[in-house]
A and B are shown apart, each in its own frame.
Chain A
Amino acid sequence: MSDEQETQETTAATVADIEEPTAAVPPSTESDDVPVAATVETADTSASDAASPPPEPEVDPEPKVERTAEATPEARLEPVPVAADATKDAEPVAAPSGGRPASTHPAPPPESDPTALDPRKRVPPVYRANQGPSQSRFRPRHVATDVPLEQIHYKNIEILSQFLDRQGRILSRRKTRVSAKKQRRLKTAIKQARHLALLPYTPSHIRGRR
């Protein structure tokens, strides 16, 4: 109990000068049990609360130091995964695929996620974006799509010539919008007509240049 009295005296005495008695007194009294740093901390942390008996501050300050030491790395480590989780949650799709440290790279997970989870939601807008101009570009220019199949033969040059472009090339089915069967007949008919010189392989103004 003499220790308590001494500490109380020191605390009371050291209202003006805190450092000197605390540094001076404890090593003399508590040199066996308490390390120096602990006693200094007890005196520093609580001048008024230090009225508690010395064995308790012996126990407390050490784990406090340890806790603070542990708490700071935890605090340093924790906000990073929390931030990563927040970014993952903030992204539209939940991230089961995110084995990555995806917080630094926000771009790859949205690419990998829709394809893995539901490709139908992400793909259509891209597909529409590509198809928008293409529809206008490849709208069927030839109304001869309704040509009866019987009329597609190599002698019917008037019809066959509608399926050639200005260079004499056979128009693709994407442009002609003809059924596959008719397009096949058109192909053979045009090639037969070319063989007989009923249709040109290439336009004359190009052929004449040498």
Chain B
Amino acid sequence: MSADTRTYELVYVLPPELRDLELENAHQEVLQVVDRNDGKIVFENSWGMRKLAYPIDKKTEGHYTMLHIDLDPSKVADVERLLNLSENVMRYLIIRDPVA
């Protein structure tokens, strides 16, 4: 974490119907979004398939993945924009200063 970056925590949810290769491509799509904004992935943790607390797009489950990223704060908006454009990402959350 250099002077002009902060550590962010990114959690995104991928659709449950994605299988091996599709799922991997979806992950790579998110990683490319981060990499395109000069983000550095510090930590990665897959929560696996989880049941959603409420249905999203008629889907009751999702693949949860958490990343810790060193990112320039000015790039966060662009990361969010690209994640919004993504077809696969059902939900995401970027917060600052991850605790754990």
List the interface of chain A (C-beta within 8 A of B).
Answer: 150, 153-155, 192, 194-202, 204, 207
- Beyond A201-B54, A207-B54, is A196–B99 a contact (Cβ under 8 Å)? no
**Which residue of chain B has the shortest Cβ distance to A153 in the bound complex?**
B99
Check: B62 CB closer than 8 A to any chain A CB: yes
Check: B67 CB closer than 8 A to any chain A CB: no
Asked if A196 and B95 sit within 8 Å, CB to CB, the answer is no
How many A-B contacts are there with CB distance less than 8 Å?
32
Asked if A197 and B99 sit within 8 Å, CB to CB, the answer is no
**Which residue of chain A has the shortest Cβ distance to B52 in the bound complex?**
A197
**Which residue of chain B has the shortest Cβ distance to A204 in the bound complex?**
B54
How far does the Cβ of B66 sit from chain A's closest Cβ, in whole Å? Answer: 8
User: Chain B binding site: helix, strand, loop or mixed by DSSP?
Assistant: strand
How far does the Cβ of B2 sit from chain A's closest Cβ, in whole Å? Answer: 25
Give the size range of B's interface with the partner: 10 to 19
How far does the Cβ of B63 sit from chain A's closest Cβ, in whole Å? Answer: 12
Q: Which of A150, A192, A198 contacts B53 (CB 8 A)?
A: A198
**Which residue of chain A has the shortest Cβ distance to B90 in the bound complex?**
A197
Q: Which chain A residues lie closer than 8 Å to B53 at the CB level? A: 194, 197-200
Asked if B100 and A153 sit within 8 Å, CB to CB, the answer is yes
Asked if B99 and A195 sit within 8 Å, CB to CB, the answer is no
Most B CB atoms within 10 A — which of A196, A199, A200?
A196
